[in-house]
Amino acid sequence: MFMYYSIEYHFASEFSRFRRPWDMQKSNSSMHTACRRMEAGEASYLVGKTGVEIALECIQEITGEVPSCPPGENCMRSPDYWCGWAVSFYHWYSGRPYREIFTALPYPDLLDLYPTLHEADITKFVDIAEHRIRKHFPETNLRRLRDAYGCSQQELSRLSGVSLRSIQMYEQRRKDINKAQAETLLRLSKVLGCSMEQLMEH
């Protein structure tokens, strides 16, 4: 499930410093801990915390500072709200990690899409996000090895016993092959003449 609201902090002159944590340079990791926990389906983040609590945690971890003013909820559909909603929808739709989404589609670029897309069907944003992902991450290891072997997706499905849909989703990065069952990886690796590890993305 994804959030349909955004949390904005009213810090007066400090507001701009905390509003977009993705722009902060003090972070030592490419993705905040909360994002990793949400991707992993950790219940304490999916249903156990409010948006305000998560936002405060992000700000404190990234900046090392505690906001000086108490936070407040703002449920109006601002550009920031739309960006958060669109990215959350795409994460849910595609299963792609937030890390990959923000690498291919940085936050300033998301804001640039707001004027033309905020009233459009969400599938328009999905199409743009898919294009940016494919451009930034041109091919998966599975696709590269399948091409080298010289077989189609249908042939690989028939030879391995792995469903065609799964192969398509792995190659489109809509499913994370790193989370595939060992049996699936073993079947694919036997057909393609590679190790299971070579199929995984790093």
What would the CATH number be for the domain defined by 141-199? 1.10.260.40
Interval 125-150 mean pLDDT: 87
Asked if 31 contacts 99 with a C-beta cutoff of 8 angstroms, the reply is yes
DSSP designation for 99 = H
Sequence-separated (6 or more) residues with CB below 8 Å from residue 178: 200, 201
Sequence-separated (6 or more) residues with CB below 8 Å from residue 176: 95, 96, 97, 201
pTM passes above 0.85: no
Rounded to 5°, angle at Cα 99 from 94 and 102: 85
Domain assignments of the chain as residue spans, ordered by start: 12-136, 141-199
Which band of pLDDT confidence, cut at 50, 70 and 90, is reported for residue 31? low
Which band of pLDDT confidence, cut at 50, 70 and 90, is reported for residue 25? very low
Segments in 9-140 forming alpha helices (H): 15-18, 33-39, 43-46, 51-63, 79-94, 98-104, 107-117, 122-136
Q: Is the pLDDT of residue 131 over 50?
A: yes
